[in-house]
A and B are shown apart, each in its own frame.
Chain A
Amino acid sequence: NAGVTQTPKFQVLKTGQSMTLQCAQDMNHEYMSWYRQDPGMGLRLIHYSVGAGITDQGEVPNGYNVSRSTTEDFPLRLLSAAPSQTSVYFCASRRGQGGGYTFGSGTRLTVV
């Protein structure tokens, strides 16, 4: 049971670089989301998807892009990294409404 797999676990970027955080789930879940966690602020939603081909913005979408071409994968793209994007990023998925989200193990991103 892989659950939700995030790669990489750690990443250091220089300001202005771009990269993609990978997220894959093997539970056939419809809903997938990306959150960022900053100290003292809990988790904030970046983007989410309710199914393949459908995405929408969350609370803090600026500087990030997503797509959902398959049920399994939901990558998060940082277009031009900024120090303000230094954070821990979590991908999560759930089967339907009301279900508890299953989280990946997170990616710690540092932008210098």
Chain B
Amino acid sequence: AQTVTQSQPEMSVQEAETVTLSCTYDTSESDYYLFWYKQPPSRQMILVIRQEAYKQQNATENRFSVNFQKAAKSFSLKISDSQLGDAAMYFCAFSQGAQKLVFGQGTRLTINP
């Protein structure tokens, strides 16, 4: 069974600085998808970024980028120029084929002004 591990329950960063959230996963498949979701206090789950495992190029979305290391089964999220609105729970998730999303336990990110 696939598993997703986020080893940092909490992280904090100064506003305007850069922070990296870690995620590792376990799978025997070669074709899959990885995601980062943001959950602010409003509880809404918001897709931040998506990576296709067969693509070697790391995905980027504005200030958000990933470092995808397929051999190491690592998928970290880098947030540049952190803003107060980035404060949230961040979940790493894995999906293979037509099946479900498997989520990590989440990392709570605090932005210090």
Interface-central residue, A40, A43, A103, A105, by most chain B CB under 10 Å = A43
Say which one of A17-25, A68-76, A77-85, A93-101 lies at the interface with B: A93-101
Is A33's CB under 8 angstroms from B45's CB?
no
The chain A residues found within 8 Å of chain B, CB to CB, are: 31, 33, 35, 40-45, 48, 50, 58, 88, 90, 92, 97-98, 100-103, 105-106
Once bound together, how far apart are the Cα atoms of A93 and B87, in whole Å?
Answer: 25
Docked-complex contact B44 and A103, CB < 8 angstroms: yes
Query: What chain B residues lie within 8 Å of A40 (beta carbons)?
Result: 105
Any A CB within 8 A of the CB of B15: no
Please name 10 further chain A to chain B contacts, defined as beta carbons within 8 Å, in addition to the given A92-B45, A97-B98, sorted by A numbering: A41-B105, A42-B105, A43-B45, A98-B52, A100-B50, A101-B47, A101-B101, A105-B43, A105-B44, A106-B45
CA distance in complex: A43, B92 (Å): 11
Q: Known contacts A42-B103, A43-B103: does B43 contact A97 (CB below 8 Å)?
A: no
Main secondary structure, interface of A, reads strand
Q: Given that A41-B105, A98-B33, A100-B50 are contacting pairs, would A90 and B45 also be in contact in the complex, using a CB cutoff of 8 Å? A: yes
Q: Is the CB–CB distance between B43 and A100 below 8 Å?
A: no
Given the known A-B contacts A100-B50, A105-B43, are A31 and B98 also in contact in the complex, defined by CB atoms under 8 Å?
Answer: yes
